Amino acid sequence: MSKSLQAIRGMNDILPGQTPIWRYLETTFAQLLDGYGYSEIRLPILEFTDLFARGIGEGTDVVDKEMYTFLDRNEESLTLRPEGTAGCVRAVLEHGLSGGGQVQKLWYTGPMFRYEKPQKGRYRQFHQIGVEVFNQPGPDIDAELIVLTARLWKRLGLADAVTLQLNSLGSSEARAEYRDALVAYLRERFDQLDEDSQRRLTTNPLRILDSKNAQTQALLVGAPTLSDYLDEASREHFEGLKARLDAVGIAYQINPKLVRGLDYYGRTVFEWVTDKLGAQGTVCAGGRYDGLVGQFGGKPTPGVGFAMGVERLVLLLETLALVPEALSPAPHAYICAFGEAAELAALELAERLRDRVPGLRLLVNGGGGSFKSQFKKADKSGARFALILGEDELASRVVGCKPLRDDGEQQNIAWDALAEHLAACVEQA
Ligand code: HAM
């Protein structure tokens, strides 16, 4: 097939067999968030390139290597959003949603774009469900975000499949001091660093901490650690978070090397990881970004949030066989109609039934066909009943109702009584 008729590498169609799982995840999440008082926000997929360059930071992989950036017809540089936080902060500022210290608890979902090397769990168009909270400076909200994700894992049956990693990045001053100490330590060992880490030593030295290179990791064993450089206020904040997680019984591992790949973080960072998906095991990640609103020119406003990768969650549910069976329920009934007059009557009858029976799943055979072929389609649809409408039935205003899932007898039901019959069927299901 010619290349232009294939989807772009790393950008996937989500086919009808999969969409029920996506809907299940999205509705489970939306219902959960309703219960915590969060509101949905819908944001554009395109933003000015500068928003991401400033927000996520020059020197990060996302900004330097992974953005889909182009000039529009007006010669403005635009970028397909690689993540949701920068756009959300922009919208909150633009519409004054955080003015006067107003607390905002927001969530969003949708596609994100990064030019990464595609592999299992890593795509160029992927989807996130994210949450951002503004004007809540204390560790109580960090804890709430973690608690609500833990509740989501429980609802999805994933509680035993994921673990929580936590770290504090401290204030920007503490981080700068630590960065200097780390750079000094690694400069002395420059030749032993892998090539990527050598480059990062000038662009983004903290990212060397999560290098996958074994020799680099060995070098880091004796390196200064961020926790030794934490400022007092950040230390207290972190202790406050840990105490709250302890109080509600959420287990965590402190990972001093967890630094995250985006520049806006300070203080709390966290990741939920699984060992069931190979290399792309982070299913949800986030942290605090108290400096970002100020950096965009707004009044200093505390912010904290996270985003989860929907593809990774779908993969995890499938891998662990945790997809609920009843996600795409079969129709209750399938109408087979024979002859033009019956086809017209079938359409009218179906619409009347849909008016009268809430929740009814009713299919009407399309395209005519023999008795045998229509019956076969009715059976294949998984419907409980075939409703048969031919010339005789039309004349006596009945349908032949044939059970398809048990050996019950076919019986004639008057059109007027059909709604009641199907309502009982909907209720049973
Ligand atoms: P992130 O760690 O870059 O953070 O992405 C969050 C999650 O999105 C990842 O943990 C992963 O599950 C998923 N993800 C990221 N890249 C890909 C990819 N190429 N393919 C599939 N899934 C992917 C952020 O984006 C921050 N905005 C999160 C945040 C919100 N922090 C504060 N608020």
Structural domain contains residue 349: yes
Count of C-beta atoms within a 10 Å radius of residue 251: 9
Asked if residue 263 and residue 121 are part of one domain, the reply reads: yes
List, for the chain, all residue ranges whose pLDDT scores fall below the cut of 50: none
In a domain, 254, yes or no: yes
The answer to whether residue 1 sits within a structural domain is no
Q: At what angle do helices 139-156 and 232-247 cross, to 10 degrees?
A: 40
Q: Which residues are annotated as a binding site?
A: 83-85, 114, 128, 132, 260, 264-265
SS (H, E, C) 364-427: ECCCCCCHHHHHHHHHHCCCCEEEEECHHHHHHCEEEEEECCCCCCCEEEEHHHHHHHHHHHHH
The total domain count for the chain is: 2
pLDDT for position 261:
87
Binding-site residues for L-histidine = 83-85, 114, 128, 132, 260, 264-265
3-class DSSP assignment, residue 342: helix
Count Cα neighbours of 270 within 13 Å in the Cβ-side half-sphere: 30
Q: Report the pLDDT value the prediction gives residue 103, as an integer from 0 to 100.
A: 97
Indicate whether 175 belongs to any domain: no
Atom of ligand 1 nearest to the CA of 289: 32
Our answer on whether the CB atom of 165 is closer than 6 Å to any ligand 1 atom is no
Is 301 found in the same domain as 338?
Answer: no
* pLDDT tens-digit readout, 287-308: 999 999 999 999 999 999 999 9
* Nearby residues of 340 by Cβ (< 8 Å), 6 or more positions away: none
CATH number of domain containing 378: 3.40.50.800
On whether both 110 and 34 belong to a single domain, the answer is yes
* Ligand 1 atom nearest 313 alpha carbon: 12
User: Per the domain annotation, does 23 fall within a domain?
Assistant: yes
Cβ neighbours of 228 (radius 10 Å): 10
109 and 243 in a single domain? The answer is: yes
Count Cβ atoms within 10 A of the Cβ of residue 368 and give its class: 0-12 exposed, 13-18 middle, 19 or more buried. middle
Q: Of the candidates 294, 319, 344, which is a domain's last residue?
A: 319
Cβ(412)–Cβ(401) under 8 Å? Answer: yes
- Is residue 352 within 8 Å of residue 60, measured between CB atoms? no
Looking at the fold, whether 142 and 286 belong to one and the same domain comes out as yes
SS3 276: coil
Task: Identify whether the C-beta of residue 255 lies closer than 8 Å to the C-beta of residue 268.
Answer: no
Q: Does the Cβ of 285 fall within 6 Å of ligand 1?
A: yes
**Amino acid making up residue 208:** I
- Residue 360's alpha-carbon distances to 334, 353, 370, 377, in angstroms, are 11, 8, 26, 19
- Both tokens of residue 348? 């009218």
Which residue in 260, 321, 279 sits closest to 121, CA to CA?
Answer: 279
Residue closest via CA to ligand 1's atom 16 equals 122
Tokens of 285: 């990640």
Q: Residues 146, 61: one domain?
A: yes
Residues 240 and 370 in one domain: no
pLDDT tens profile 58-86: 889 999 999 999 999 999 999 999 999 99
CA–CA separation, 259 vs 86, rounded Å? 18
pLDDT at position 210 is: 83
Distance of CA 259 from the midpoint of ligand 1 (Å): 14
Domain of 122: which CATH number? 3.30.930.10
Q: What is the distance in A from the centroid of ligand 1 to the CA of 307?
A: 6
| Ligand 1 atom 12, closest CA | 309
291 falls within a domain:
yes
Residue-wise over 92-115: b if at least 16 C-beta within 10 A, else e? Answer: bbeeebbeeeeebbbbbbbebbbe
Any ligand 1 atom below 6 A from CB of 384: no
Answer whether residue 198 is part of any domain.
no
Domain assignment present for residue 200? The answer is no
Q: Are residues 105 and 139 in the same domain?
A: yes
Query: Which of 8, 38, 107, 112 to mutate for ligand 1's pocket (most ligand atoms within 8 Å of CB)?
Result: 112
**Whether residue 123 is found in the same domain as residue 267:** yes
Strand 333-337 relative to strand 385-389, pairing: parallel
Q: What is the pLDDT of residue 3?
A: 86
Coil, strand or helix: which one is 346?
Answer: helix
Q: Are residues 107 and 28 part of one domain?
A: yes
- Nearest residue to 275 via CA among 121, 387, 156, 428: 121
Say if residues 127 and 133 touch (Cβ distance below 8 Å).
no
Using CA atoms, how far apart are residues 43 and 45, in angstroms rounded to an integer?
A: 7
Among 385, 379, 344, smallest CA distance to 362 is for 385
Pocket test for ligand 1, best of 282, 301, 315 (most atoms within 8 A of CB): 282
Same-domain pairing of 29 and 66: yes
* Separation between Cα atoms, residue 82 and residue 125, nearest integer Å: 9
- Give Cα 299 to chain centroid, integer Å: 30
Closest ligand 1 atom number to CA of residue 118: 19
Distance (Å, whole) CA 305 – CA 131:
5
Last residue of a domain, one of 285, 319, 353: 319
Cβ 265 vs Cβ 62: under 8 Å? no
Q: From the CB of 266, is ligand 1 less than 6 Å away?
A: no
Indicate the angle between helix axes 19-35 and 139-156, nearest 10 degrees: 140
Domain carrying residue 362: 333-428
CA distance 361 to 429: 11
Whether residue 129 sits in one domain with residue 52: yes
Q: Return the DSSP state at 161.
A: T
